[in-house]
Amino acid sequence: TILDLYSGCSVIESLVEKGQTVYLLDWGDSRPQDKHLSLSDHLDHGLQWTVKRTLKEAGVSTLNLMGQCLGGTLCALYTCRNPKEIKSLVLLTTPIDFHVDGTFYQWTNHSNINLDQMLAAWGNIQAKFLDRSFKLLTTLGEVKQRSALLNSSHREDFLKKHVAITEWVKDSVPFPGQTYKELIQYFYRDNLLYQGEMVLEGESLSLSTLKQLKIPILSFYAKGDIIVPNQSTKALSHCCLLYTSPSPRDGLLSRMPSSA
């Protein structure tokens, strides 16, 4: 939803207007039986199936792969594993170094969270738990949101975007239990991705592989992002020798192929 809020405020619409054919992967709502799905399952069966199907439908041999937040993390891992299918990689506010100090890092490393108990009780991580966790990132968030609504309620453009974003924020879905456990353990606690020690199904995956590939990479971070700290996203430059653009285009990292 966030990539296609409404006409005039849509990443997908703008891409289509530029002549791109867009295929979107919707992971859907997790079912009770999905509690056993692992990170490897999402890469090998979810994302891989989507890429293969897209290549077949579009009649091409490579595609431009874009992912947002953790979707970007999955896309980066997928590119390391299947570089021949990827023409370019675009990452939107994607966490790379999970040990950059932030609220999620503090919660997962300095609290008494028992993941096994959570999974035993819930199976999948409940949507309302995820929703409340994000709201706790800024304790005055709801107050500020209502204040902004009160002050700008006379503006039709503001109201339209406010309603769309509010609906998106409320639309949390359950998170597959096993994947959640691996996400916390592999990324936030052990930081395996950034350390180059990621192993899935016996296969080593390292972002350093990206520097050996002649694949253009475009990675955006957002100033003031309270979910993914800027330094977490910018850490990609340390893994694959990205060029960091100077101001005024601050917020953009890019690596062009050697032929550029």
What phi and psi values does residue 46 have, to the nearest 5 degrees?
-75, -65
Which of 58-62, 107-111, 145-149, 165-169 has the lowest average pLDDT? 145-149
Task: Give residue 89's Cα distance to chain centre.
Answer: 13
Contact (CB, 8 A) for 133 and 141? no
Higher local confidence (pLDDT), 241 or 201:
201
Mean pLDDT value of segment 167-173: 84
**pLDDT(250) > 60:** no
| pLDDT one-digit tens code per residue, 71-108 | 999 999 999 999 999 999 999 999 999 999 888 888 88
Mean pLDDT value of segment 115-136: 90
pLDDT of residue 242: 53
pLDDT of residue 12: 94
3-state secondary structure of 161: helix
Spatial neighbors of 59 by CB under 8 A, at least 6 apart, are none
Mean pLDDT value of segment 205-224: 87
Q: pLDDT confidence of 257, banded at 50, 70, 90?
A: very low
pLDDT of residue 251: 42
pLDDT of residue 256: 35
Closest of 81, 88, 184 to residue 130, by C-alpha: 184
Tell how many helices (H) and how many strands (E) occur in the chain.
13, 9
pLDDT of residue 252: 42
Closest of 104, 69, 132, 111 to residue 191, by C-alpha: 104
Mean pLDDT of the chain: 86
Closest of 102, 192, 172, 183 to residue 138, by C-alpha: 102
pLDDT of residue 241: 58
CA dihedral 75, 78, 80, 83 (to 10 degrees): -100
Q: Which residue, chain included where needed, has tokens 């199976």?
A: 123
**pLDDT(253) > 80:** no
- Tell me how far apart the alpha carbons of residues 219 and 179 are, in angstroms, rounded to a whole number: 24
Mean pLDDT value of segment 168-187: 91
Mean pLDDT value of segment 22-42: 92
Contact (CB, 8 A) for 205 and 59? no
3-state secondary structure of 25: coil
Helix (H) or strand (E) holding 65: strand 63-68
- Tell me how far apart the alpha carbons of residues 109 and 53 are, in angstroms, rounded to a whole number: 39
Task: Give residue 147's Cα distance to chain centre.
Answer: 29
Q: pLDDT confidence of 143, banded at 50, 70, 90?
A: confident
pLDDT of residue 201: 86
pLDDT of residue 35: 95
Contact (CB, 8 A) for 72 and 92? yes
What's the first-to-final CA gap in the chain, in angstroms?
35
What phi and psi values does residue 131 have, to the nearest 5 degrees?
-60, -45
pLDDT of residue 76: 94
DSSP state of 175: B
Contact (CB, 8 A) for 242 and 255? yes
pLDDT of residue 52: 96
Contact (CB, 8 A) for 223 and 128? no
**pLDDT(211) > 60:** yes
Query: Which of the residue ranges 133-137, 181-185, 241-245 has the most confident prediction, judged by mean pLDDT?
Result: 181-185
**pLDDT(28) > 80:** yes
